[in-house]
Amino acid sequence: MKRTQTYVLCLFVLSLLMVPFSAFAMGLEVGAGYWRQTPSGTLAYDKSGLPGTSIDLKNDMDFDSKNKPFARVKVELPLFLPNIYFMATPMEFKGTGSKNANFTYGGQNFTQNVPFDSKLKLDHYDLAFYYPLPFLNTATLGVLNVELGLNARIIEFEGTINQPTTGATASKKLTIPVPMVYAGIQVKPIKTFSVEAEGRGVSYGANHYYDIIGRLKVKPVGPLFIAGGYRYESIKIDQSDVKADIKFAGPFVEAGVQF
């Protein structure tokens, strides 16, 4: 938690440092909020020639929904420079569960019907470079804007299982870079209200990673905005002996400033 708070604080400091450049930038948006993350799916970890058992996040690990902070900064630059979009999304779950069959995780054998503690961390950080579609915003008198670009996502993964009664324990940490396509759309029928959607995604072989956000935004006064929406992530990866087929979904609330 301390690391998450430090990272979010650094993001806000960075955004404040960007404010003096607002005269050079065409637009600046800084937002932060809370996302209610509800996990589902399975996780497995192979090691030492032993195939890992698929472990259910809800039924076996007993993970519940968590409210987690997130923050983002969006900078629109002039001329032919690409616009920049940075977002930080902490994600961590802990639980104490049991499984009704013996299972293997990280080369360790775990005993059925004996409680075990588990932790799953999937903090991720996005940096996108994008351009709006030429002349579309002008042609629609500012009502419609569409953005396309490339997104680099860094995932800090940690999956740990510990069964105190038997002494079995195994853990895996990974830093996973994920190149993705970015697309965003904003519909602003009036100056103080907009409907927005953005997506990041990649698919290769049997793997995929999709992240979709829908947002309703209101600007009650000046540059201040408040927003609410829904976010959905689907992850299916097989990398470095880790196999995950996981989904996260839930509503979020957000506040910030937009110039």
pTM of the predicted protein model: 0.88
Contact assessment for residue 108 and residue 51, using Cβ atoms and an 8 Å cutoff:
no
CATH number given to 2-95+127-147+182-258: 2.40.128
Tokens of 168: 């079995």
Distance CA 21, CA 80 (A): 17
Per-position pLDDT tens, the chain of length 259: 445 444 544 554 454 444 454 445 578 999 999 999 999 999 999 997 889 999 999 999 999 999 999 999 999 988 788 999 999 999 999 999 999 999 999 999 999 999 999 999 999 999 999 999 988 988 998 899 999 999 999 999 999 999 999 999 999 999 999 999 999 999 999 999 999 999 999 998 889 999 999 999 999 999 999 999 999 999 999 988 999 999 999 999 999 999 8
The residue extents of the domains of the chain are 2-95+127-147+182-258
Residue 65 burial (10 A CB sphere; 0-12, 13-18, 19+): middle
Instruction: Please tell me the distance from the alpha carbon of residue 122 to that of residue 128, in angstroms, as a whole number.
Output: 19
Can you tell me which residue has the tokens 């290769």?
204
Residues 6+ apart with CB under 8 A from 250: 35, 36, 37, 38, 65, 230, 231
